[in-house]
Amino acid sequence: WGQMSFWAATVITNLFSAIPLIGENITEWLWGGYSVGNPTLNRFYSLHYLFPFLIFGLVILHIWALHVPGNNNPVGIDVKKNNNETVSFHPFIVMKDLFALLVFLIIFFVFVFFAPNVLGHPDNYIVANPLVTPSHIVPEWYLLPFYAILRAIPSKLGGVIFMFASIFILMLLPWLDTSKVRSATFRPLYKKFFWILIVTVILLGYLGAKPPEGIYLILARIATIYYFVHFLIILPLLGRYEKTSPLPLSISDPVLNKPDIVDKFKKIAGEYEGENVDSFK
């Protein structure tokens, strides 16, 4: 165990002790004893070993969803029947995903081979000591926004509830976003609130790495309030009252009706005598 990993595991697993009646039993079950130790480490290793198989199952479901119900599109418009506006899964979607995977692996390998310590914490190179608590315990960077929400709530049980609620609320997005227009391209007001949310999450991530005191604690509470207000109030109201831009008639309509593209087709068509130039629209 490293010092930071040991105490981070202690803090996170202790969150379950806030659950009334059964909290202590759940915590001891996670630990495999009465404190964090080797049984805890083995259980964490087993959990992370099983995660790839769970993710693989989700990938299979994702591919099934692409083949059966059909994939979505950037403009969020349903494909019309007998309309040749779709592309096949292979090679178009496959090559697109492979390109994204390649970009991810390049960035991943840069960190692995050239900067392995950038996202780590120096205290984790110290051997774990259960008698010495670090002055400031920080989880991994991808957990910092939720950690900031946890510490923004004065009550231990309340902090646990709000932290897990901030994660599970993302699963309710299909029901919270009541707008019939699925693409943000045609929702100008929604785009502004979306970027406010992005700034809020980045701010929470920054505050999660800071001590929960003074201005950091005040900003964390303000950001936490906006995080939940965005999903529970702003999204449903925007879907009902936002005035959206006109939707195109089809997926290809916003592309083919751009002035520069139409002019290009006209120029090509003008090279052929006797052709109806307007038909190229």
CATH of 139-250, one of 1.10.3210.10, 3.90.1150.200, 1.10.287.980, 3.60.10.10: 1.10.287.980
pLDDT confidence of residue 271? 52
What was the pLDDT predicted at 254?
Answer: 64
85-118 burial, b if ≥16 CB within 10 A, otherwise e?
eeeeeeeeeeeeeeeeeeeeeeeeeeeeeeeeee
Q: What is the pLDDT along the chain (281 residues), one digit of tens a residue?
A: 788 888 888 988 888 888 888 889 999 998 988 888 888 889 888 988 999 999 999 989 888 877 776 666 767 776 665 556 677 777 888 898 899 999 999 999 999 999 888 878 888 888 888 888 888 888 888 899 999 999 999 988 899 999 999 999 999 998 999 898 888 888 999 999 999 999 999 999 999 999 999 999 999 999 999 999 999 999 999 999 998 888 777 776 666 666 554 555 455 555 544 554 444 44
State the CB neighbour count (10 A cutoff) for residue 77. Answer: 21
User: What is the predicted pLDDT for the residue at 18?
Assistant: 86
- Intra-chain end-to-end CA distance of the chain, in Å: 67
The CA distances from residue 42 to 112, 130, 212, 249, in Å, are 24, 18, 31, 57
pLDDT number for residue 281: 47
Phi-psi region of 258 (alpha: psi -120 to 50; beta: other; left: phi over 0): beta
Give the H/E segment covering residue 111: helix 94-114
pLDDT of residue 88: 74
Query: How many beta carbons lie within 10 A of that of residue 67, not counting itself?
Result: 9
Residue 155: CB atoms within 10 A of its CB come to 10
User: What is residue 216's predicted lDDT score, i.e. its pLDDT?
Assistant: 95
Residue at token pair 């759940």: 26
Quote the CA–CA distance of 245 and 187 in Å, as a whole number: 6
**Domain parsing of the chain, residue ranges:** 1-138, 139-250, 251-281
Q: Would you say 190 and 242 are in contact if contact means Cβ atoms under 8 Å apart?
A: yes
